[in-house]
Chain A
């Protein structure tokens, strides 16, 4: 297996982008990444694009072919593949791109992720997102996607004494970070009181405990480490890329206070990278709901199981804390265009590791970790990156 590097990144602004179509988003992120990497179109060997439900959000499947057309690469007939794993589609696309380069099959690979969610009305989006859960045995009975995380939240609160205020503090922190990110959907700071006063979506989760509906796309260019030096001196190496799966339904899992797939992926990723959790300088975790970030920092070994709420309250994960988490604003404030999220997390880590994160820069960041989850934990992808 060859060592793999990221030589370029690109990302659209995230938000309700009514004036931009799905294909415009794909084009914008891809073009930015190609310009950033300084590669020519004819050097691209393959593409992997994450999209969760493009068929239902914009009535468009066959996204691989669309990406080739958008990129003007049809005469080269390069293979482009759409990858789906619910909200982990982007992370799985990254993993596929990594495997393709590491194996020696391809040299230059474009990884992308895109979702255009605001072309349907809100209630329809709720129905589409529920397809990340088990349609026959969860969604059929009326459980929504926030509902599944609410079940985990209530369980965690009951078992460990995690409070609604501690959940809210995740949103407050991520909105603060989002206020420093020009591409974030929400650049507005909020308070714990704002979260607790916002309408209930699935008790105990309020509206401001939930990530929003977002349009956006992100891309990254991968190359073998040996070849990367030819293109850029701002190389970020992929030290680990691990995907793990679990049951589709929450009720069939071994635990409700943890995502066993995340624990498994993290353990394997730390082994692959030869590091310990405490070596991580900055992390982007899958905070689709505030409880998800609390469970994530426990699953990743940043804190003991059950201590995630307390650690958040004490500022461990703040921008100036020991392990800054979701410096981009996370899914909560940066936005969550489901298929793009996994690749957007990689964008943020690359900015941090290159020292280009502006006002939200973590000082001397050398090792970054991305944790991308599909559904209620049926898929988890962990990437560990290092500045070279």
Chain B
């Protein structure tokens, strides 16, 4: 992967910077250019918005067959997470036993290594999620 392709996504992938529609107030992550609710009215009114990083597991899966860049890391958990701001995203669940993961589990974002470009290439970081002790 060209480094620029990774670099330009850093704000969203490191700091969960999404977008907030200044017309209806709805928050979007991953970032969107147009609010699907306000459409034309939202043009030019989608402003950066940092998520607080906390959310709830809506569904999850354990990946056993992975593409080349994730080989050797299986099994790992992937979840659909509903962020407290109302938007959903997809991310790995780490730092807990796979059996502990369940729908409704509270999680928070943490910055982790996601993949690397071979042994000598760039290392790509981004968000993963860990359990929040309640």
Q: Which residues of A contact B (CB under 8 A)?
A: 123-124, 126-127, 130, 136-144, 146-147, 150-155, 158, 199-205, 249-252, 256
Contacts and interface: CB of A to CB of B under 8 A. Distances in A.
Nearest to A130: B67
A270 B4 CA distance: 47
B78 A201 contact: no
Interface residues of B, number: 33
Nearest to B1: A140
Contact of A136 (B30, B80, B128): B30
A274 B75 CA distance: 49
A202 B64 contact: yes
The winner among A141, A144, A152, A199 for most chain B CB atoms within 10 A is A141
Contacts of A204: 61
A174 B61 CA distance: 24
Contacts, number: 100
Given A123-B71, A251-B89, A155 B59 contact: yes
B89 A137 contact: yes
Contacts of B71: 123
A141 B92 contact: yes
A334 to B, nearest CB: 22
A155 B65 contact: no
Given A137-B30, A142-B114, A199 B60 contact: no
A123 B68 contact: yes
A151 B68 contact: no
A201 B65 CA distance: 5
Nearest to A207: B65
The winner among A123, A130, A143, A146 for most chain B CB atoms within 10 A is A143
Interface in B31-87: 58-71, 73, 75-76, 78-80
Contact of B66 (A126, A140, A199): A126
Nearest to A150: B61
Nearest to B79: A151
Given A137-B90, A142-B63, A147 B80 contact: no
B73 A140 contact: no
B80 A199 contact: no
The winner among B63, B71, B92, B124 for most chain A CB atoms within 10 A is B63
B61 A142 contact: no
B9 interface: yes
B103 interface: yes
A202 B61 contact: yes
A151 B59 contact: yes
Contact of A250 (B62, B64, B90, B115): B90
A153 B58 CA distance: 12
Contacts of B73: 142
